[in-house]
């Protein structure tokens, strides 16, 4: 798959406001936040879209979600609540083709999303 800007963030070639990292997952603040808290959780192993994920990557996908939930708890807003979203392809609104979980918090979210 072609490189994305997120590969450069993983390699520290471009700056990002990194808030969490472990062996498998990196999380950094979205450059164009849509909520008071807007963090992207990405796997260090790139997967272009959710359509490209395979069963061998189930653990990695689980790590992504658990990293977001763990960070929300550590930050103290988990009880108030938050939203996690993964956009897929054009109709989903995906613009960067390295899967990422958006964690949005700090305000009440509307439903349905636009």
Residues recognised as catalytic: 100
- Residue 15: CB minimum distance to ligand AMP, A: 8
- 16 in contact with ligand AMP (CB under 6 A): yes
- 108 in contact with ligand AMP (CB under 6 A): no
- 30 in contact with ligand AMP (CB under 6 A): yes
- Map residues 34-63 to x or -, x wherever contact with ligand AMP holds by CB under 6 A: ------x-----------------------
**Which CB sits closer to ligand AMP, 63 or 100?**
100
- 1 in contact with ligand AMP (CB under 6 A): no
- What is the Cα 31 distance to its own chain's centre? 12
In angstroms, the CA 106 to CA 103 distance is 10
**CB-side exposure of 68: number of CA atoms within 13 Å?**
25
- What is the Cα 48 distance to its own chain's centre? 13
In angstroms, the CA 60 to CA 41 distance is 12
- Residue 102: CB minimum distance to ligand AMP, A: 6
Sheet architecture: strand order including 101-105:
18-21, 25-29, 37-43, 101-105, 82-85
Q: Which residues bind ligand AMP (CB under 6 A)?
A: 5, 16, 28, 30-32, 40, 87, 93-96
């Amino acid at each position: 798959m072609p490189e994305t800007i997120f590969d450069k963030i993983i390699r520290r070639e471009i700056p990002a406001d990194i808030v969490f990292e472990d062996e498998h997952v990196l999380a950094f603040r979205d450059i164009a936040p849509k909520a008071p808290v807007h963090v992207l959780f990405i796997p260090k192993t790139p997967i272009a879209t959710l359509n490209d994920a395979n069963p061998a990557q189930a653990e990695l996908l689980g790590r992504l979600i658990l990293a977001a939930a763990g960070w929300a708890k550590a930050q103290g807003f988990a009880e108030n609540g938050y939203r996690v979203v993964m956009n897929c392809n054009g109709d989903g609104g995906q613009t960067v083709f390295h899967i990422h979980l958006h964690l949005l918090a700090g305000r009440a979210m509307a439903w349905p999303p636009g």
